[in-house]
Structure formats: C-alpha cells, structure tokens
C-alpha cells in the first residue's frame, strides 16, 4: 500500500481512538473518523502473537484493504486486531473487514 494511504504517527492514531466511531467482530475492531483524505492504520498488539505472526496479519489486512480502496469514503480508518486473527486466514480477515465496513456504511455505493 502506498505511503499516502498509511497512518504512521502516534498522534493520528490517538485522534482516531478519541473521536472515532467503533464497530467490532471476532477478529477485528474498526474505528472511523471522517476526514478530507483516505488513510488507514493497523494496530496489532503482542497479545496476537510474536513478530512473525503480527506481521503476517498486517500483510493480509493491507492486501484486503487495498482491494476495497476504490469504493470507500474518505476518512481515517484504524483496524485493531484481536487475538483470534492469528489463526484466521486471508479470506476470513477479508470477510470480517467487509462486514465492518458495511456495518459502518463506509462504502460510497451502498450496492456492495
């Protein structure tokens, strides 16, 4: 995913945690704040697993989000990963992500 779409600063994460609307499921929690540009961040704690597992989960989530990028509204998205995501495969994570995005009504076209 390109750098312009990433949230990297702690202050940006804290802003989304403070002001964001949250929705959750078994593997993920989504926090969203409206903004002029689209940016995403992934928060994976050590409870999920070791560094290899955390990085694998983040890679899968970035790939899943990249496929959704064109149809989403602008804003700041932060996905917090729960420990159940360590055993989830790509399709499960992608399905959870789509579910949360639909639940928050974040697609531009509501046909999806």
Strand-pair partners of 78: 31, 41
Q: Is residue 14 part of a domain?
A: yes
**Residue 33: which CATH number?**
3.30.230.10
Name the residue range of residue 92's domain: 3-103
- pTM across the whole model: 0.92
Q: What per-residue confidence (pLDDT) applies to 110?
A: 59
Q: What per-residue confidence (pLDDT) applies to 2?
A: 82
Average pLDDT per block of 10 residues along the chain, 112 residues long? 89 96 96 96 96 97 94 96 96 97 89 50
User: How many domains are there within the chain?
Assistant: 1
Q: Is residue 10 part of a domain?
A: yes
Q: Which is nearest to 71 in space by CA: 35, 102, 29, 27?
A: 102
Q: Is residue 112 part of a domain?
A: no
Q: What per-residue confidence (pLDDT) applies to 13?
A: 97
Q: Is residue 109 part of a domain?
A: no
According to DSSP, residue 37 is labeled S
Q: Is residue 19 part of a domain?
A: yes
User: In whole angstroms, what is the distance from residue 40 CA to residue 69 CA?
Assistant: 10
């Amino acid at each position: 995913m390109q750098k312009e779409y990433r949230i990297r600063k702690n202050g940006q994460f804290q802003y989304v945690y403070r002001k964001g609307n949250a929705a959750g499921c078994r593997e993920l929690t989504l926090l969203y704040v409206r903004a002029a540009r689209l940016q995403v961040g992934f928060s994976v704690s050590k409870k999920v697993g070791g560094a290899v597992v955390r990085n694998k989960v983040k890679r899968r989530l970035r790939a899943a989000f990249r496929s959704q990028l064109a149809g989403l509204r602008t804003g700041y998205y932060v996905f917090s990963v729960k420990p159940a995501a360590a055993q989830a495969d790509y399709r499960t994570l992608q399905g959870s992500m789509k579910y949360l995005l639909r639940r928050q009504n974040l697609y531009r076209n509501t046909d999806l």
